[in-house]
Amino acid sequence: MIRPRRRFSPFSCLLFLALLLFGAIIVILLLRQPWNLPATSDNGAAASALAEDARQIAFMSNRDGDWDIYQMTLSTRETVNLTDSSADEAFPSYDFSGQAMTYVSNADRTAESDLTGYTMAADGSSPRRVQSDLPTILDILANGRLNWDLVQPFSGGPVFVSLRDLNLEVYRARTNADGTANDVNLSRNGAIDWFPSVDVTGGQVVFTSDRDGDQELYLAEADGTLRRLTNDPATDVHAVWLSDARQVLFYSERGPLLDGGQTVLYTLDTRDPAAQPASLTGGPVSLEGGTPLVADVQFAPGGGAQISLGHDGHDWEIYYTPAGGGEAVNLTDNDFDDLFPTWRPNS
């Protein structure tokens, strides 16, 4: 008996296509969930360590159309926009208590002004412009917030910024043979000295200072020698080391301004006295042999896990490496730039 060939009606075909489309949407949504970590060779161990790490970090991102400051809880990757405004906010740092934060903003930018410093509570409340006046200094002293921006290197004592001399200076914490503390002033100047970064060897510290009239980059060598790295009328600020302990990555206003979420980064070879800053238009930074470099490696206060900055070939991302090493996990896996992370103390 020959059975008649079954024909699919137009309605059946549409239903089948609709089911396929629905299934594809479900798969895409599942893949976008925060618990879906990027594949790594050590994904199980890294995911387990991350799930147990309830500390927080802050960073800047242009994911909402301009630069804002975000705070992330590592274990859940819950991320909160702390500065959701029409202005651009960048370069976050915490005080030692982890209860207050400083950053810079272009909210007051005019033809005559530059980026200005702001402070706020760590939850984003009570933002206010930092003024170089007695009331501001007294408020900082009254709240015991003398020390800021703790950077823990792989070796050597942590580096930080302090107001103990009633002006911002960069210090390195050292311990004497008898166990007593001996903080060393690395910047040694009455100007504003801030935004320190330590290379992976722990020996060199780069920071920003306005001692020569505008914001420029300076290098404190392991022997205490100070050397100016940049010399330009435009602002050069917030340098971080690349993992070759030779180049620094920094923001400069000699090109596009920090407006509207633009990525404006430069690199500089600190070992070449004749080197000039090179504009980084995107793409990973590499050694001569093509080995990708990471930037801004920071160990958690007291040691352990580390965060770092890297380029995935499309945009800048923030990575987490568990204590003991292993493959890094991309914390900010999106199509936008996420830059300059910092650990929140006591989180």
**Tens-level pLDDT at each residue, the chain (347 residues):** 333 333 434 444 444 444 444 444 333 333 332 222 233 334 578 878 899 999 999 999 999 999 999 999 999 999 999 999 999 999 999 999 999 999 999 999 886 668 899 999 999 999 988 876 566 666 666 666 789 999 988 888 899 999 887 788 999 998 888 888 889 999 999 999 999 999 988 899 999 999 999 999 999 999 989 999 999 999 999 999 999 899 999 999 998 899 999 988 999 999 999 999 998 865 556 655 556 778 999 999 877 899 999 988 888 999 999 988 888 899 999 999 999 999 999 98
What DSSP line would sit under 81-117, residue for residue?
Answer: ES--SSS-EEEEEEBTTSSEEEEEESTT--SS---EE
CA 182 – CA 180 distance, rounded (Å): 7
CA 347 – CA 327 distance, rounded (Å): 24
Inside any domain, residue 236: yes
CA distances, 220 to each of 165, 185, 239, 241, 302 (Å): 19, 10, 13, 13, 23
Residue 34 structure tokens: 């925060």
Inside any domain, residue 252: yes
For residue 163, the domain's CATH number is 2.120.10
Inside any domain, residue 11: no
CA 33 – CA 17 distance, rounded (Å): 25
Inside any domain, residue 100: yes
Inside any domain, residue 6: no
CA 277 – CA 270 distance, rounded (Å): 10
CA angle 137, 115, 71 (to 5 degrees): 80
Closest C-alpha among 287, 208, 212 to residue 250: 208
At position 106, the amino acid (one-letter code) is: N
Inside any domain, residue 1: no
- Domain range spanning residue 74? 41-343
Closest C-alpha among 72, 108, 103 to residue 87: 108
CA distances, 107 to each of 17, 64, 67, 234, 283 (Å): 51, 17, 12, 18, 29
Q: Is the dihedral of CA 74, 265, 263, 207 positive or negative?
A: positive
Closest C-alpha among 331, 307, 321, 306 to residue 77: 331
CB atoms within 10 A of CB 296: 24
Domains identified in the chain, total number: 1
Where residue 240 falls (left for φ over 0; alpha for ψ -120 to 50; beta otherwise) is: beta
Name residues whose C-beta falls within 8 Å of residue 46's C-beta, 6 or more positions apart in sequence. Answer: 37, 40, 320, 321, 322, 326, 327, 328, 329
Inside any domain, residue 330: yes
The model's pTM is 0.83
CA 308 – CA 297 distance, rounded (Å): 4
CB atoms within 10 A of CB 40: 15
Inside any domain, residue 9: no
Residues of 48-60 as b/e, b for ≥16 C-beta within 10 angstroms?
ebbeebebbbbbb
